[in-house]
Amino acid sequence: MKFFIDTANLQEIKEANDLGVLDGVTTNPSLMAKEGITGQQNILNHYVAICEIVDGDVSAEVIATDLEGMIREGEILAALHKNIVVKIPMIPEGIKAIKYFSNKGIRTNCTLIFSAGQALLAAKAGATYISPFIGRLDDISVNGLDLVAQIRQIYDNYVFDTEILAASVRHPMHIINCAEIGADVMTGPLSAILALAKHPLTDSGLKQFLADHAKGNN
Protein backbone atom coordinates (compact mmCIF):
# COMPACT_ATOMS: atom_id res chain seq x y z
CA MET A 1 0.00 0.00 0.00
CA LYS A 2 1.31 3.44 -0.93
CA PHE A 3 1.48 6.07 1.81
CA PHE A 4 0.53 9.64 0.90
CA ILE A 5 0.46 12.52 3.36
CA ASP A 6 -2.63 14.74 3.32
CA THR A 7 -1.31 18.24 3.97
CA ALA A 8 0.10 21.35 2.35
CA ASN A 9 2.47 21.95 5.26
CA LEU A 10 6.02 21.75 3.91
CA GLN A 11 7.56 20.91 7.30
CA GLU A 12 5.23 17.95 7.79
CA ILE A 13 5.85 16.80 4.23
CA LYS A 14 9.62 16.93 4.84
CA GLU A 15 9.26 15.06 8.14
CA ALA A 16 7.19 12.29 6.54
CA ASN A 17 9.52 12.13 3.55
CA ASP A 18 12.54 11.79 5.83
CA LEU A 19 11.00 8.60 7.26
CA GLY A 20 11.65 7.07 3.84
CA VAL A 21 8.16 5.62 3.49
CA LEU A 22 6.35 8.46 1.74
CA ASP A 23 5.00 7.79 -1.76
CA GLY A 24 3.14 11.03 -2.44
CA VAL A 25 1.10 13.98 -1.22
CA THR A 26 -2.54 15.01 -1.45
CA THR A 27 -3.73 18.55 -0.95
CA ASN A 28 -7.05 20.31 -1.28
CA PRO A 29 -8.14 23.97 -1.28
CA SER A 30 -8.88 23.86 2.47
CA LEU A 31 -5.40 22.50 3.27
CA MET A 32 -3.80 25.21 1.11
CA ALA A 33 -5.85 27.92 2.84
CA LYS A 34 -4.88 26.48 6.25
CA GLU A 35 -1.22 27.13 5.36
CA GLY A 36 -2.09 30.68 4.28
CA ILE A 37 -1.32 29.96 0.62
CA THR A 38 -3.58 32.21 -1.45
CA GLY A 39 -3.52 33.65 -4.97
CA GLN A 40 -3.06 31.53 -8.09
CA GLN A 41 0.69 32.09 -8.53
CA ASN A 42 1.46 31.36 -4.87
CA ILE A 43 -0.60 28.19 -5.04
CA LEU A 44 1.20 27.02 -8.18
CA ASN A 45 4.59 27.81 -6.60
CA HIS A 46 3.58 25.84 -3.52
CA TYR A 47 2.79 22.76 -5.61
CA VAL A 48 6.23 23.01 -7.18
CA ALA A 49 7.82 23.31 -3.72
CA ILE A 50 5.99 20.12 -2.65
CA CYS A 51 7.14 18.30 -5.80
CA GLU A 52 10.72 19.29 -5.02
CA ILE A 53 10.51 17.57 -1.61
CA VAL A 54 8.76 14.32 -2.51
CA ASP A 55 9.55 12.02 -5.39
CA GLY A 56 5.99 10.77 -5.81
CA ASP A 57 2.54 11.74 -6.99
CA VAL A 58 1.24 15.11 -5.79
CA SER A 59 -2.49 15.76 -6.15
CA ALA A 60 -3.32 19.37 -7.08
CA GLU A 61 -7.00 20.28 -7.10
CA VAL A 62 -8.87 22.35 -9.68
CA ILE A 63 -11.17 25.10 -8.41
CA ALA A 64 -13.37 25.43 -11.48
CA THR A 65 -16.55 23.36 -11.62
CA ASP A 66 -17.30 23.79 -15.33
CA LEU A 67 -15.66 21.54 -17.92
CA GLU A 68 -13.71 24.26 -19.74
CA GLY A 69 -12.43 25.73 -16.50
CA MET A 70 -11.37 22.33 -15.15
CA ILE A 71 -9.53 21.56 -18.38
CA ARG A 72 -7.81 24.96 -18.39
CA GLU A 73 -6.72 24.69 -14.74
CA GLY A 74 -5.83 21.01 -15.00
CA GLU A 75 -3.52 21.60 -17.95
CA ILE A 76 -1.73 24.39 -16.08
CA LEU A 77 -1.35 22.14 -13.02
CA ALA A 78 -0.15 19.13 -15.02
CA ALA A 79 2.48 21.26 -16.76
CA LEU A 80 3.99 22.31 -13.42
CA HIS A 81 5.81 19.03 -12.75
CA LYS A 82 5.79 15.43 -14.00
CA ASN A 83 4.50 14.20 -10.62
CA ILE A 84 1.37 16.35 -10.53
CA VAL A 85 -1.93 14.46 -10.57
CA VAL A 86 -4.93 16.66 -11.37
CA LYS A 87 -7.55 16.37 -8.65
CA ILE A 88 -11.10 16.69 -9.94
CA PRO A 89 -14.38 16.64 -7.99
CA MET A 90 -16.95 13.89 -8.56
CA ILE A 91 -19.56 15.89 -10.44
CA PRO A 92 -20.90 15.26 -13.96
CA GLU A 93 -18.59 17.91 -15.46
CA GLY A 94 -15.75 16.34 -13.51
CA ILE A 95 -16.39 12.96 -15.11
CA LYS A 96 -16.09 14.59 -18.52
CA ALA A 97 -12.86 16.29 -17.45
CA ILE A 98 -11.43 12.97 -16.20
CA LYS A 99 -12.25 11.36 -19.55
CA TYR A 100 -10.62 14.29 -21.37
CA PHE A 101 -7.43 14.08 -19.29
CA SER A 102 -7.36 10.29 -19.50
CA ASN A 103 -7.43 10.51 -23.32
CA LYS A 104 -4.52 12.95 -23.15
CA GLY A 105 -2.48 10.77 -20.79
CA ILE A 106 -2.80 13.28 -17.92
CA ARG A 107 -3.29 11.53 -14.58
CA THR A 108 -6.26 12.36 -12.36
CA ASN A 109 -7.50 11.85 -8.82
CA CYS A 110 -11.30 11.93 -8.57
CA THR A 111 -12.04 13.46 -5.19
CA LEU A 112 -15.08 13.62 -2.89
CA ILE A 113 -16.14 10.01 -3.52
CA PHE A 114 -18.84 8.89 -1.10
CA SER A 115 -20.51 5.99 -2.94
CA ALA A 116 -19.65 2.90 -4.98
CA GLY A 117 -21.58 4.28 -7.96
CA GLN A 118 -19.38 7.36 -8.01
CA ALA A 119 -16.28 5.17 -7.84
CA LEU A 120 -17.55 3.05 -10.75
CA LEU A 121 -18.23 6.11 -12.91
CA ALA A 122 -14.82 7.61 -12.19
CA ALA A 123 -13.08 4.33 -13.08
CA LYS A 124 -15.01 4.07 -16.33
CA ALA A 125 -13.94 7.63 -17.18
CA GLY A 126 -10.31 6.55 -16.68
CA ALA A 127 -9.39 8.13 -13.35
CA THR A 128 -5.91 7.20 -12.15
CA TYR A 129 -7.02 7.42 -8.52
CA ILE A 130 -10.37 7.76 -6.76
CA SER A 131 -10.55 9.18 -3.25
CA PRO A 132 -13.27 7.79 -0.98
CA PHE A 133 -13.41 10.01 2.13
CA ILE A 134 -13.67 7.46 4.90
CA GLY A 135 -13.39 9.79 7.90
CA ARG A 136 -16.16 12.05 6.66
CA LEU A 137 -18.45 9.03 6.21
CA ASP A 138 -17.62 7.83 9.73
CA ASP A 139 -18.53 11.36 10.91
CA ILE A 140 -22.11 10.81 9.71
CA SER A 141 -22.37 7.27 11.12
CA VAL A 142 -21.73 5.52 7.80
CA ASN A 143 -18.84 3.04 7.84
CA GLY A 144 -16.24 4.49 5.47
CA LEU A 145 -14.25 1.25 5.42
CA ASP A 146 -17.30 -0.64 4.09
CA LEU A 147 -17.24 1.67 1.10
CA VAL A 148 -13.55 0.96 0.47
CA ALA A 149 -14.27 -2.79 0.59
CA GLN A 150 -17.22 -2.43 -1.79
CA ILE A 151 -15.13 -0.45 -4.29
CA ARG A 152 -12.29 -3.00 -3.99
CA GLN A 153 -14.68 -5.77 -4.97
CA ILE A 154 -16.11 -3.84 -7.93
CA TYR A 155 -12.69 -2.87 -9.26
CA ASP A 156 -11.41 -6.43 -8.89
CA ASN A 157 -14.50 -7.84 -10.67
CA TYR A 158 -13.68 -5.85 -13.79
CA VAL A 159 -9.92 -5.40 -13.38
CA PHE A 160 -10.09 -1.60 -13.43
CA ASP A 161 -6.63 0.00 -13.28
CA THR A 162 -7.96 2.90 -11.18
CA GLU A 163 -6.28 2.93 -7.78
CA ILE A 164 -8.31 3.24 -4.58
CA LEU A 165 -6.82 6.11 -2.58
CA ALA A 166 -8.44 5.94 0.85
CA ALA A 167 -8.73 9.56 1.96
CA SER A 168 -9.93 11.46 5.00
CA VAL A 169 -7.96 9.00 7.09
CA ARG A 170 -7.98 10.14 10.71
CA HIS A 171 -6.08 7.58 12.78
CA PRO A 172 -3.77 4.54 12.56
CA MET A 173 -6.59 1.96 12.66
CA HIS A 174 -7.99 3.49 9.45
CA ILE A 175 -4.61 2.81 7.82
CA ILE A 176 -4.40 -0.76 9.10
CA ASN A 177 -7.99 -1.53 8.10
CA CYS A 178 -7.43 -0.05 4.63
CA ALA A 179 -4.38 -2.28 4.24
CA GLU A 180 -6.45 -5.32 5.26
CA ILE A 181 -9.12 -4.45 2.70
CA GLY A 182 -6.56 -3.86 -0.03
CA ALA A 183 -6.76 -0.13 -0.68
CA ASP A 184 -3.97 0.76 -3.09
CA VAL A 185 -3.09 3.98 -1.30
CA MET A 186 -3.98 5.79 1.88
CA THR A 187 -3.62 9.50 2.51
CA GLY A 188 -3.62 10.78 6.04
CA PRO A 189 -2.08 13.23 8.48
CA LEU A 190 1.48 12.87 9.75
CA SER A 191 0.08 12.05 13.21
CA ALA A 192 -1.66 8.90 11.91
CA ILE A 193 1.48 7.73 10.09
CA LEU A 194 3.69 8.30 13.15
CA ALA A 195 1.13 6.60 15.41
CA LEU A 196 1.70 3.34 13.49
CA ALA A 197 5.20 3.18 15.00
CA LYS A 198 4.02 3.54 18.60
CA HIS A 199 3.69 0.66 21.04
CA PRO A 200 4.14 0.87 24.82
CA LEU A 201 5.95 -2.48 24.87
CA THR A 202 8.45 -1.14 22.32
CA ASP A 203 9.08 1.89 24.54
CA SER A 204 9.41 -0.08 27.78
CA GLY A 205 11.46 -2.81 26.09
CA LEU A 206 13.90 -0.28 24.65
CA LYS A 207 14.15 1.52 27.98
CA GLN A 208 15.05 -1.77 29.65
CA PHE A 209 17.61 -2.71 26.97
CA LEU A 210 19.35 0.65 27.31
CA ALA A 211 19.31 0.46 31.12
CA ASP A 212 20.82 -3.06 31.08
CA HIS A 213 23.45 -1.99 28.55
CA ALA A 214 24.37 0.99 30.74
CA LYS A 215 24.72 -1.28 33.83
CA GLY A 216 27.09 -3.62 32.00
CA ASN A 217 29.17 -0.74 30.72
CA ASN A 218 29.69 1.15 33.98
Q: Contact residues for ligand E4P (CB under 6 A)?
A: 6, 26, 28, 111, 131, 133, 135-136, 167-168, 187
Catalytic annotation on 87?
A: yes
CB-based contacts of 97: which residues, under 8 Å, 6+ apart? 62, 67, 70, 71, 74, 88, 108
- For the CB of residue 167, give the shortest distance to ligand E4P in the complex, in Å: 3
Q: Closer CB to ligand E4P, residue 47 or residue 201? A: 47
Nearer to ligand E4P, 182 or 189 (CB): 189
Q: Are residues 66 and 94 in contact, defined by beta-carbon separation less than 8 angstroms?
A: no
Catalytic one of 14, 87, 99, 104: 87
Which residues have CB under 8 Å from 88's CB, separation 6+? 61, 62, 70, 74, 94, 97, 98, 101, 108, 109, 110, 111, 127
Closer CB to ligand E4P, 25 or 149, in the complex: 25
User: What is the nearest approach in angstroms of ligand E4P to the Cβ of residue 210?
Assistant: 37
Burial category of 131 from C-beta neighbours within 10 Å (exposed 0-12, middle 13-18, buried 19 and up)? buried
**Shortest reach from residue 68's CB to ligand E4P, in Å:** 24
Kindly list the catalytic residues.
Answer: 87
